[in-house]
Amino acid sequence: MASRAVFLDRDGTIVEDPGFLHAPDQVKLFPGAAGAIKRLNDGGFLVIIVTNQSGIARGLYTVQDYAAVQRRLVELLEQQGAHVDAAYFCPHHPQFSGPCDCRKPGSKLFQEAQQAFDIDFTRSWWIGDRLADVQPARVLGGHGILVTTGNGNLHQGQARAVRVMVVADLAGAVDEILRPLQGVNHGP
């Protein structure tokens, strides 16, 4: 059977977003984020980060800077017993590098993850603090949840208008995902 996944935005969803996060010492987990990811790990979900990183296209930081931030995030999660199964990023921005299929809400990175991990999109979730983070769920057949951390407060009305669930934070989103599964076998 194909796997279930939770696709997480990074900045503003898992970690605080200072704007163009590019330095490992700036990585700060939101309260409860590591615990929420651990609950997904324990629940048999693949946890996959998909993030737009337009700062690379803008020349504000490099792919190596992105990788250093990602390593720090992995370290912080591991310190609390959580892990991510994969991370994908889009280094483009249409104004600076032209159009691409990988920038969210585009679906290219999600399709790459699906092929790599045999993911069933209909059993999967998208969580983020912007509509672009959760819109792929509608196109690909999954479920989206907008968190009000990061920029989520700015997008609540639009999210509700298109019937996307809105919750306070990543822990609240995981509560919603796991609630119907209470007492059910959590295998992949």
Contact 56, 77 (CB under 8 A): no
* Maximum C-alpha span of the chain: 49
The closest of 56, 51, 54 to 70, measured between CA atoms, is 51
Backbone torsions φ then ψ of 88, nearest 5 degrees: -125, 145
The closest of 88, 45, 86, 37 to 63, measured between CA atoms, is 88
| Active-site residue, selected from the candidate residues 11, 65, 133, 169 | 11
The CA-to-CA distance between both ends of the chain, in Å, stands at 7
Token representation of residue 183: 């007492």
No. of H helices and E strands in the chain?
8, 6
Catalytic residue at 11?
yes
Contact 14, 37 (CB under 8 A): yes
Instruction: Quickly list DSSP for 24-49.
Output: GGG--BPTTHHHHHHHHHHTT-EEEE
| Active-site residue, selected from the candidate residues 9, 17, 129, 169 | 9
Catalytic residue at 9?
yes
Q: Which residues are catalytic?
A: 9, 11
